[in-house]
Amino acid sequence: MTITDGLRPLPRPSWRRHAGWIGIAPLAVLLVIAFAIPVGSLLRLSFGEGDFTLEHFARIVTVPLYRSVLLTTLTISATTTLLCVVMSYPVAYLMATVGPRMRALLIVVVLLPFWTSSLVRTTAWIVILQGNGILNRLLMGVGLTSEPVAFVYNLSGVLIGMTHVLMPFVVLPLYAALRGLDLSTVQAAEGLGAGPTTVFFRIVVPLTAPGAVAGATIVFMNALGFYITPALMGGPAQTMISQMIADNVGRQLDWSFAAALSTVLLGATLVLFVLFQRVFGLDRLFSGGGGGSKSGEPFRLTSRGRTAGGLFGAVMGLAVAVFLIAPILVVFPMSLGSSPFLAFPPSDLSLRWYVSFFENSKWVGALTRSLQVAAVTVAGAVVLGTAAAIGLDRIGQHWRRTIETAFVLPMIVPVIILAVGLYYLFAPVGLVASIWGLAIGHTVLAAPYVFITVRAALKGFDPNLELAALGLGAPWHTMARRILVPVILPGILAGSVFAFITSFDDVILALFLTNIRTRTLPKLMYEGVAHEIDPTIIAAAGLIILVTVALLALDLVLTRKRP
């Protein structure tokens, strides 16, 4: 900036030298009030409500029940991570070796579970996996088993649900790493006499390991804080630390102990986050960029076709793709049936359960509130996130990294911790009984998405355009309106899509920050799923899928227009 400053014809007014901070301040204030303070007070609680004590931490270590919850959390997270990596290789391989259309389809298949509400996914899996569910009826139908297999409400249920949603974090960097792999390196190994297995383990795995490890770190970090999936798809033996936190707040009313568990969870998450940042850099978290060499042709299929090993990989990749898309493929057609029993495929097509959804004031009220909260969230997140992203380019270099890290922290910290912290802060002041408390919480979660997408859009914005406009005599606000905003608009719109989905799909904050009069659609569904899945819930799930798919399609269109 110093060189361009020197070239300016007029000295800048002194306030403008701090203009960057003006943009950053609103989001910073929100994050201090609705993120740092609630999370901080919760952490403070873990050391005793009055005098300093470590007794709550001591309890975690000494009481066998809590020790086993910690162990379960680690075991489930590690197993999920392993499953994600193992299952991602075939999908990434398939993505790298098919035509562009098929590849685009596979990317959608990988990303859809990620952007589908956790409740919709969970509901669908339960419908597929339960005792009289689709999978068991299929297995018994072909005679593979005479009695229903217990797929859900146990370890396999939790692992299926968690792997399903966390896989994109490994598939995408792995796909990038595979594309970064030089085709001739693989051919060189083959030419020297290596068969498919040797090529995979001695060449492909070592060269794509950085991408896989980056993804695995994110998966493990996220898995540690999982709440909804183990709560709905696991049994008592699969109780994870987040459930223990919620249980201590909701049932035991033992705030200090819940706080101590939160501190442990947050500590573990932050250690992983710092490690990730040190080793891979923050950008990797969002871009999914891979390593590999730059020269040469990217890894692809040649005219020779697939080898036996390649064919095996492709078939496995297809199987995993089916696994990823199955819940959505099942639940949506199911919502169009008319039978009061869940049937797949539905014997007839009708909108009966959608009608019943819209005739029920309980569901309509919840949907309305969800939309209201999402509207407030999108507005808040877009204004705060965009201002902060624009501001960040206008402050000193050495501050940027710190601020950037601080602003993405809400994406890193397990939502359960924010939920409990906000509940602790909002309950006494009555914010829980209105939609505003939830909207504030959602804005904390959503603003970082807008911040990141606008930051990315700004990277394509040549600062000279701004100087040119100002040099031609445009005041700053005119420049912003006519030059800056049009350029970054796709980033803002993509950020709004993510903000909307973040709010519209959230269950965890809603569980803590709403009551029976202010509950949102996901919370109402949660109560239903935890009790019994009826067709109206499936209709609600179908509705959420429609909204999500429509928004993602919108995002795809917006992204394509980006220069």
Q: Residues interacting with other proteins, by CB under 8 A? A: 182, 184-185, 187-195, 198, 203, 206-207, 293, 295-296, 302-305, 307
Closest CA to 225 of 287, 308, 166: 166
**CB nearer other proteins, residue 190 or residue 247:** 190
Decide whether 154 or 187 has the Cβ nearer to other proteins: 187
Partner residues linked to 251 by β-bridges: none
Min separation Cβ 299 and other proteins, Å:
12
Nearer to other proteins, 188 or 322 (CB): 188
CA distances from 172 to 68, 83, 95, 110, 214 (A): 33, 15, 10, 9, 10
Those residues with Cβ within 8 angstroms of residue 394's Cβ, 6 or more apart along the chain or in another chain: 19, 20, 23
φ, ψ of residue 292 to 5 degrees: the values are 85, 175
Helix (H) or strand (E) holding 320: helix 308-335
Query: Least CB distance from residue 218 to other proteins, whole Å?
Result: 23
CA distances from 340 to 87, 134, 350, 524 (A): 36, 16, 12, 19
We find the least distance from the C-beta atom of residue 195 to other proteins, in angstroms, to be 6
**Identity at 417, one-letter amino acid code:** I
Q: Contacts by 96-102 with C-beta closer than 8 Å and gap 24+?
A: 96/175, 96/178, 96/179, 96/298, 96/299, 96/300, 97/299, 97/300, 97/301, 97/306, 97/310, 97/314, 98/301
The phi and psi torsions of 8 (rounded to 5 degrees) equal: -70, 140
Least CB distance from residue 477 to other proteins, whole Å?
Answer: 50
Nearer to other proteins, 142 or 192 (CB): 192
Nearer to other proteins (CB atom), residue 190 or residue 254: 190
The number of beta carbons lying within 10 Å of the beta carbon of residue 428 is: 8
Between residues 205 and 237, which has the closer beta carbon with respect to other proteins?
205
Find the shortest distance in angstroms from Cβ 174 to other proteins: 17
Buried-state track 233-266, b at ≥16 Cβ within 10 A, e below 16: bbeeebbbbbbbbbbbbeeeeebbbbbbbbbbbb
Which helix (H) or strand (E) is 127 found in, with range?
A: helix 118-129
Q: Which is nearer to other proteins, 295 or 361 (CB)?
A: 295
For other proteins, the closer of residues 75 and 198 by Cβ is 198
Minimum CB separation of residue 314 from other proteins in Å reads: 17
Closer residue to other proteins, CB minimum distance, 41 or 197: 197
Q: Closest approach of Cβ 307 to other proteins, in Å?
A: 7
In the complex, least distance from residue 209 CB atom to other proteins, rounded to whole angstroms: 9
Q: C-beta of 490: minimal distance to other proteins in Å? A: 34
Closest by CA to 88, choosing from 216, 201, 253, is 216
Closest separation between CB of residue 123 and other proteins, Å? 44
Cα–Cα distance measured from residue 528 to residue 487, given in angstroms and rounded to the nearest whole number? 45
Longest CA–CA separation in the chain, Å: 85
Q: Toward other proteins, which CB reaches closer, 194 or 343? A: 194
3-class DSSP state of 427: helix
Q: For residues 311 and 355, which CB has a smaller minimum distance to other proteins in the complex?
A: 311
Please give the Cα distance from 35 to 192 (Å, whole number).
57
Minimum distance from residue 100 beta carbon to other proteins (Å) = 15
Write down how long the chain is: 563
Grouping H, G, I as helix, E, B as strand and the rest as coil, residue 52 is coil
